[in-house]
Amino acid sequence: MVEYYRFPELGAEVFNLAFGDWDEDNHHINDFSTSNNADRDKVLATVAATVIEFMKEHPYAVLIATGSTLSRTRLYQMGIARVWDEINQFFEIQGYINDTWQPFKQGVNYNAFLLKRR
């Protein structure tokens, strides 16, 4: 499941991007689950497709995303780097490191990511 929710304390158009397995017992997204069914790239591509659609409907939105663990944040960073040329045409991405946002650079281990349309 993919969910976008607003950070009202950060501004009207600032959203968190969350995704994971739906926990039927607790009625929320479980972003710590590991299915190990070899569909990681498919899941990341699906999430990316929802980002594109979300940004079409919210052109001034700013998305913030971070992994539920350091290794997941690193996985998302590798996913961004893998398709950087396509992403960079349409979106500006920044990485959060050392208490500051900076333009995304491959090879830097960020703690979070910020995305907005160019």
What is the per-residue pLDDT across 79-106, written as a single tens digit (0 to 9) for each? 899 889 999 999 999 999 999 999 999 9
Pair 21, 29: CB distance under 8 Å: yes
pLDDT the model gives residue 1 = 77
Structural domain for 91, as ranges:
2-117
Q: Which of 60, 72, 83, 79 is nearest to 19 (CA)?
A: 72
Tell me: the pLDDT tens digits for 21-46? 666 677 666 565 666 676 667 777 87
Neighbours of 95 (CB within 10 A): 20
**The total number of structural domains that make up the chain:** 1
Tell me: the pLDDT tens digits for 44-61? 787 788 889 999 999 999
Neighbours of 20 (CB within 10 A): 19
DSSP state of 107: T
pTM score: 0.78
